[in-house]
Amino acid sequence: MDASFAHNQRRTKIVATLGPATSSYGIIRALADAGVDVFRLNFSHGLHAEHAQRHATIRAVEAEIQRPLAILADLQGPKLRIGTFAGGSVTLRPGAMFRLDLDHRPGDETRVHLPHPEIVESAATGSNLLLDDGRLKLVVREKGADHLLTQVVIGGVLSDRKGVNVPDVVLPIPAITRKDRSDLAFALELGVEYVGLSFVQRPQDVRDARELVGGQAWILTKLEKPQAIDNLDEIMALSDVVMVARGDLGVELPPEQVPVAQKRIIRVARRMGRPVIVATQMLESMVHAPTPTRAEASDVATAVFDGADAVMLSAETAVGDYPRAAVEIMDRIVRSVEGDAGWTLTMQAATPPPADSSVADAIAAATRQVAVSVDAPVIVAFTLGGRTALRISRERPDCAIIGLTPTDEIARRLCVAWGVIALSAGQEVPVYGIETVVDQALEAATLSRCAGVGDAVVIAAGLPFGVTGSTNTLRVARVK
């Protein structure tokens, strides 16, 4: 990949969802030009053929602009829904009793089919059920072998096949459904960089996905269930990337708890060195308006101040009327925050201690300190699998980070990492001496216009070369 674009790189990355509004080459190219780093394919919608076409278009755009672009295949996960009504919909009154059962007949004002026996089995008296994205709320008053008798707490119109959320209960269902397995196999065959897991509840959900993926992509865990927050550290440790998925998280948690959960997730992700994406409704009004609200602009800015690696657009680019404008405005907001002196101080003050006592973590922490001491404009990380670059990204240094990898595949995976300019050498990692590595680092720093004559370049690498996770060497060289 050509490195010449890197000199003006934004630190916080942008993820954009593709959909009916953004399927053509011209639109996808425009989004990439506007600053998108990662494109999301939402497998909750669309046919495999449509996703394959978008994937091919992204790769064509990538070849044209000579900058790595990553692709996220976001699996639908277990969507829980009620059955149908004889009249298409009913109105539930607060205080009324309403039965959810395993009877397949169409429902009425007193009952409806619940095609999920695991909910009936796991719920208990006092459990809350949220319907239609939390618009209606029921509480279980009695439980039978084949039904739940609930009382309506928050009423309203309820129509066919609306979603069901059970925030109080860990359900014995896998995070990967039969549909997800088919979608996963297809996405891996296409060659995506990340696989998004929806509705993760337990660490085992991530372990199961990792076994299926087999190292062909990074696992991106979407944190949208209270049960996942309860197991945050263990789930984070098993994941490669995490997402604060505020849509369903906002349904299952009280609204006042979502910002606190967001900050906690980002804080833990920073400590463990996992890239973290903040998503859902960031510029929601731009689905139909050419500009965001001031509150939305502040929401994006808050995520950047919190230290998120990336911010994401969903409906704004998938079905919105102003997809390019949404990316451009998000880019401007991020750059404005990153140009603020207070943001720089916040990043420096919020750097957590190393996650463990490994040599690799110590080298990563030292690169930031050395870069400050020698006034280096760039750190070059030789990274076989991407981990060295992620460790240095975790330190949030006040200079550019070049992640120099042997393949386009790893360069693309690093597109989500804060501050990392991902470059591929287009060859296997050289098994030469340290001087060859220094020469390659200086060449990458100058080609990317991150360093000029006389500038110091801090270099992190591992000896012996070609061994993943062996980062143990730090060098400083000057551009001649």
Q: How many C-beta atoms surround the C-beta of residue 7 within 10 A?
A: 15
As beta bridge partners, residue 477 has 457
**What local confidence, expressed as pLDDT, does residue 346 receive?**
87
Residue 230: give the domain boundaries.
4-78+174-340
State pLDDT tens for residues 279-293: 999 999 999 999 999
74 pLDDT above the threshold of 60: yes
Q: Are residues 185 and 320 in the same domain?
A: yes
CATH number, residue 118: 2.40.33.10
State pLDDT tens for residues 296-349: 999 999 999 999 999 999 999 999 999 999 999 999 999 999 999 999 888 888
Q: Are residues 384 and 410 in the same domain?
A: yes
Position 346 in a domain: no
**What local confidence, expressed as pLDDT, does residue 360 receive?**
87
Position 84 in a domain: no
CATH number, residue 233: 3.20.20.60
How far, CA to CA in Å, does 301 sit from each of 297, 340, 364? Answer: 6, 11, 27
Residues tagged active-site: 40, 81, 222, 280
Residue that terminates a domain, selected from 306, 340, 374: 340
Position 83 in a domain: no
Cα-flanking dihedrals φ and ψ of residue 228, to 5°? -70, -40
CATH number, residue 430: 3.40.1380.20
Planar angle of CA 375, 411, 391, nearest 5 degrees = 50
Cα-flanking dihedrals φ and ψ of residue 115, to 5°? -80, 40
Q: Are residues 281 and 150 in the same domain?
A: no
Chain mean pLDDT for the chain? 93
471-478 sheet: strands from edge to edge: 420-424, 400-405, 378-382, 456-462, 471-478
466: confidence class by pLDDT, cuts 50, 70, 90: low
Position 316 in a domain: yes
* Average pLDDT over every residue of 147-156: 98
Residue that terminates a domain, selected from 126, 147, 165: 165
Q: Are residues 218 and 305 in the same domain?
A: yes
Residue that terminates a domain, selected from 109, 139, 165: 165
Tell me, what amino acid is at 216? Answer: Q
Q: Please write down the long-range contacts of 137-146, taking CB distance under 8 Å and 24 or more positions apart.
A: 138/98, 138/100, 141/97, 144/120, 145/120, 146/101, 146/102, 146/103, 146/117, 146/120
Q: Are residues 125 and 68 in the same domain?
A: no
In 3D space, the residue among 33, 35, 39, 34 whose CA is nearest the CA of residue 58 turns out to be 39
* Average pLDDT over every residue of 456-475: 81
Tally the residues of the chain.
480
Q: Are residues 37 and 156 in the same domain?
A: no
91: confidence class by pLDDT, cuts 50, 70, 90: very high
**What local confidence, expressed as pLDDT, does residue 329 receive?**
98
Q: Which tokens sit at 476?
A: 């400083």
Sole residue written with tokens 């849509």:
247
428 pLDDT above the threshold of 60: no
7 pLDDT above the threshold of 50: no
Q: Are residues 243 and 94 in the same domain?
A: no
Q: Number of folded domains in the chain? A: 3
State pLDDT tens for residues 213-244: 999 999 999 999 999 999 999 999 999 999 99
Position 434 in a domain: yes
Q: Are residues 240 and 159 in the same domain?
A: no
Task: Give a three-class secondary structure readout of the chain.
Answer: CCCHHHHHCCCCEEEEEECCCCCCHHHHHHHHHHCCCEEEEECCCCCHHHHHHHHHHHHHHHHHHCCCCEEEEECCCCCCECCCECCCEEEECCCCEEEEECCCCCECCCEEECCCHHHHHHCCCCCEEEECCCCEEEEEEEECCCEEEEEEEECEEEECCCEEECCCCCCCCCCCCHHHHHHHHHHHHHCCCEEEECCCCCHHHHHHHHHHHCCCCEEEEEECCHHHHHCHHHHHHHCCEEEEEHHHHHHHCCHHHHHHHHHHHHHHHHHHCCCEEEECCCCHHHHCCCCCCHHHHHHHHHHHHHCCCEEEECHHHHCCCCHHHHHHHHHHHHHHHHCCHHHHHHHHHCCCCCCCCCHHHHHHHHHHHHHHHCCCCEEEEECCCCHHHHHHHHCCCCCEEEEEECCHHHHHHHHHCCCEEEEECCCCCCCCCHHHHHHHHHHHHHHCCCCCCCCEEEEEEECCCCCCCCEEEEEEEECC
- Mean pLDDT lowest for which of 117-121, 273-277, 380-384, 459-463? 459-463
Q: Which tokens sit at 431?
A: 């098994």
* Average pLDDT over every residue of 191-212: 97
* Average pLDDT over every residue of 249-256: 91
Position 64 in a domain: yes
Q: Are residues 278 and 398 in the same domain?
A: no
**What local confidence, expressed as pLDDT, does residue 211 receive?**
97
In 3D space, the residue among 341, 357, 337 whose CA is nearest the CA of residue 349 turns out to be 341
467: confidence class by pLDDT, cuts 50, 70, 90: low
113 pLDDT above the threshold of 80: yes
**What local confidence, expressed as pLDDT, does residue 251 receive?**
92
Position 49 in a domain: yes
| Non-local CB neighbours of 437 within 8 Å, separated by 6+ positions | 382, 430, 459, 461, 465, 475
Sole residue written with tokens 């009423």:
155
Position 411 in a domain: yes
The Cα 132–Cα 112 span in angstroms is: 14
Q: Are residues 312 and 456 in the same domain?
A: no
Q: Are residues 231 and 190 in the same domain?
A: yes
Q: Are residues 41 and 185 in the same domain?
A: yes
